[in-house]
């Protein structure tokens, strides 16, 4: 399918109907949306971000983590996926530092 010739509205319709679903497809820039639609499998960060608190609790129970019932969704995500959740922020911070150093 030639996504490059489609309008943004058509791309959003395809993204909405896609399985597995692309989270926040309606605010993703056109180029990034095309890139995601061309992938056979979504990046792991997208899959992690779509998990519900119930799914996260089941994973935490399987890993026998204590006191999971008192944790918020964001805290469970940090506990279960500590490195994967921090990479985006670290990369952004590193890019900002690189840009400042070049100036």
pLDDT tens digits, 77-91: 989 988 754 444 544
3-state secondary structure of 1: coil
Which residue pairs from 97-103 have beta carbons closer than 8 angstroms and sit at least 24 positions apart in sequence? none
Give the pLDDT of residue 62.
94
Q: Are 15 and 1 in contact (CB under 8 A)?
A: no
Q: What is the pTM of this model?
A: 0.57
CB atoms within 10 A of CB 59: 16
Give the pLDDT of residue 9.
93
Residues of the chain with pLDDT under 70: 84-103
Beta strands in the chain (DSSP E): none
Measured between alpha carbons, how far is 92 from 100 in angstroms, rounded to an integer?
A: 12
Give the pLDDT of residue 92.
43
């Amino acid at each position: 399918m030639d996504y490059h010739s489609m309008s943004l509205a058509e791309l959003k319709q395809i993204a909405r109907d896609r399985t597995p679903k692309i989270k926040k497809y309606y605010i993703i820039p056109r180029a990034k949306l095309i890139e995601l639609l061309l992938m056979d499998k979504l990046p792991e960060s997208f899959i992690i971000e779509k998990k519900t608190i119930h799914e996260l609790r089941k994973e935490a129970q399987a890993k026998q983590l204590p006191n999971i019932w008192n944790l918020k969704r964001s805290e469970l995500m940090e506990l279960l996926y500590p490195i994967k959740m921090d990479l985006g922020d670290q990369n952004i911070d590193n890019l900002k530092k690189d840009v400042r150093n070049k100036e």
